[in-house]
Amino acid sequence: MAAAAEVSNRRVTLKRHVTGFPTEADMEVVVAPAVAVPPGSRSVMLKNLYLSCDPYMRSRMSRHLEPSYVPDFVPGEVMATFGVSKVVASGHPDYQEGDLVWGMTACEEYTLVANPESLFKINHPELPLSYYTGVLGMPGLTAYAGFFEVAKPKKGDYVFVSAASGAVGQIVGQLAKITGCYVVGSAGSDEKVNLLKTKFGFDDAFNYKKEQDLNAALKRCFPEGIDIYFENVGGAMLDAVLLNMRNHGRIAVCGLISQYNLEQPEGVRNLFCIVAKRIRMEGFMVPEYFGNYRKFEEEMAGYLKEGKITYVEDVAEGIESVPAALIGLFYGRNVGKQLVAVARE
């Protein structure tokens, strides 16, 4: 694919490190020449098809004084992200031109990946390829590992999911139903609440923006209390959930998106409930579960084909739409998994 060296490569760079809410102006779409696979290297050149917009990327947009759990983006350089890509040139014997892969790539049209072993080959191209940014990719494995490995559900458990129509939440809710749990989700619009109830099979759902009192909302939805909280938001919701947990409840902490743009996080006051109810609250990060990916992929592909799990995506078109799509996550503008279609093949 000598041609790749000659095509131009549009990419999204971070212009400056961010404090508070990021804006589109903090990023820039620039044109750079695409680089070829260096002769003799084991790199691969990817043509990016679908790019994922994920809340954790907010952390990378800040400058951290101490090393963070993911490295900070470097101003002026392309922003890395998970994506679905096609191999268009390869110096690696295990990767051939035309292979479809998902994994860590970057917000640009073409990406040279020096360690293609980090990429996962796509075993189910008969399913929508974009699903490998979501239900069959990082968010799907996040939901699967967080729910089964961290929250450890039992049939009949009362499960609450926040940000429940998002990339991860919608899968957690459906996995919980498959497991025989009672599932309630919260989301930030009536449209999303409607999706939860009608499309994803949640037993109940509420629009947290319309509730005067989150504690009362949870008491209404869970008169018996909550066994499992799949935590995506933090802040006031976590404080209300703590009051409504049952003894030996489990809180799988996936993310705290409500806090990511605050100069100082909100204080959580009801932590004594952790003692009084003997709660286990545990954080996790999906890369530690990548070893389970093949098992997960087969199981999830099966659910999708059988119609046991459905997935809603919010697809923005074109590399130029990355900044707005990413920012939209923090305002809850996306309905379902946010991704950007850069190319279809």
Would you tell me which residues interact with a second copy (CB under 8 A)?
68-69, 234, 238, 253-256, 259, 264-285, 288
Distances (CA, A) of 40 to 46, 88, 93, 113: 17, 16, 11, 14
Q: Which two tokens stand for residue 97?
A: 């031109």
Smaller CB separation from a second copy, 190 or 213: 213
Residue closer to a second copy by CB (options 272, 345) is: 272
Tell me whether residue 79 or residue 150 sits nearer to a second copy (CB atom): 150
Nearer to a second copy, 284 or 315 (CB): 284
Q: How far is the CB of 288 from a second copy (least distance, A)?
A: 7
Q: Which is nearer to a second copy, 26 or 266 (CB)?
A: 266
Question: Token digits for 225?
Answer: 């209390």
- Minimum CB separation from a second copy for residue 160, in Å? 17
Check: CB of residue 228 under 8 Å from CB of residue 202. no
Q: How far is the CB of 66 from a second copy (least distance, A)?
A: 9
Toward a second copy, which CB reaches closer, 274 or 343?
A: 274
What secondary structure does DSSP assign to 272-316, as a single string?
A: HHHHHTT-EEEE--GGGGGGGHHHHHHHHHHHHHHTSS---EEEE
Q: How far is the CB of 188 from a second copy (least distance, A)?
A: 20
- Distance, CA of 124 to CA of 14 (rounded, Å): 33
Task: Tell me the C-alpha to C-alpha distance, in Å, between residue 259 and each of 44, 160, 269, 278.
Answer: 37, 19, 15, 25
Supply the minimum distance, in Å, between the C-beta of residue 96 and a second copy.
36
Chain-centroid distance, C-alpha 114: 24
Minimum CB–partner distance for residue 260 and a second copy (Å):
8
Q: Is 210 exposed, middle or buried (0-12, 13-18, 19+ CB in 10 A)?
A: exposed
Q: How far is CA 307 from CA 53, 155, 333, in A?
A: 25, 21, 27
